[in-house]
Amino acid sequence: MRLSVRHTTIYRFDAPMRFVTQSHRLTPSTCTSQRIVAWEVGAEGAVFGASFVDGAGDRVTTMTVEGPVERIDVTVTGEVETFDAAGVLRGHREIVSPRTYLRPTQRTKANGALGELAAGALAAAGEEGDLARAHLLAAAVAEAIAYAPGTTEAHTTAAEALEQGRGVCQDHAHAMIALAQSVGLPARYVTGYLLTGGEEGIGEASHAWAELHVEGLGWVGFDPANRCCPDDRYIRLGSGRDALDAAPIRGVSRGGGTEAMDVTVVVAAQQ
């Protein structure tokens, strides 16, 4: 499938900033399940600096805007050819050990309730392998946390989302990571895009899911929000230990004002 993406992030400052510096993970990963046809990231008045592939195999680029800065529009446009690999990440070169992703963050730390959910999901697993166990954990998250936009915040933890029983894709991913790590499976947070529409999927075009490391297969994606593994409707951008670590845009600014942000993402299938 060929997917087009238009992703705009607008930053507005109530008092001009002296300068703004950002780190971007806005270029799709290089792997066998997707191929970049065309891709461009731009912002008027910005200077793009160093660009490198980090230890997790993700492209990172820096951007700086000299002040006075009242508004920044970061625009991503491009096309990606995608292939259904049943969620298995292949051809993605990285040097970070999977064991790095056994350590939880504040957002993915498993409390008693999350531990009980994992234990209950795997109670009937028997001698099944890690892949089957991972699918059981994903199903448990999907049942325990209903998809309900606007019910959680950016800082909501997996434990808090489970307690209220509602959340969005970020909460599903955090909970999936918490459950996996609690039973010894390395897990990480993934950001990207999803072709939505009709009844085939739920969620926003800017999407998130989890990857678990399965012995013999490597990293495998799981999207509890849509009760599936990523297929050719998904574009993978980058990964991290949680939503903050994997954020497509992170930055710092110098000045005394406050910031407001608006994000628009449109993903479409090309004929």
> What local confidence, expressed as pLDDT, does residue 259 receive?
86
Same domain, 53 and 170: no
Burial class (CB in 10 A: 0-12, 13-18, 19+), 7: buried
More confident position, 21 or 124: 21
Q: What is the mean predicted confidence (pLDDT) over 232-257? A: 93
> What local confidence, expressed as pLDDT, does residue 120 receive?
95
Question: pLDDT tens, 65-87?
Answer: 998 999 999 999 999 999 999 99
User: 32 is in which domain, residue-wise?
Assistant: 2-81+248-269
pTM: 0.94
Residue 195 has which token pair? 């072709």
Q: For residue 16, give every residue at least 6 positions away whose Cβ sits within 8 Å of its Cβ, in sequence order, or none.
A: 67, 68, 69, 70, 255, 257
Same domain, 252 and 234: no
Same domain, 196 and 260: no
Give ∠ CA 214-154-19 in degrees, rounded to 5: 110
Q: What percent of the chain has pLDDT over 70?
A: 97
Measured distance CA(114)–CA(47) in Å, rounded: 44
CATH of the domain at 101: 3.10.620.30
- pLDDT surpassing 70 at residue 243: yes
Same domain, 136 and 96: yes
Measured distance CA(151)–CA(158) in Å, rounded: 13
Question: pLDDT tens, 192-217?
Answer: 999 987 444 455 678 999 999 999 99
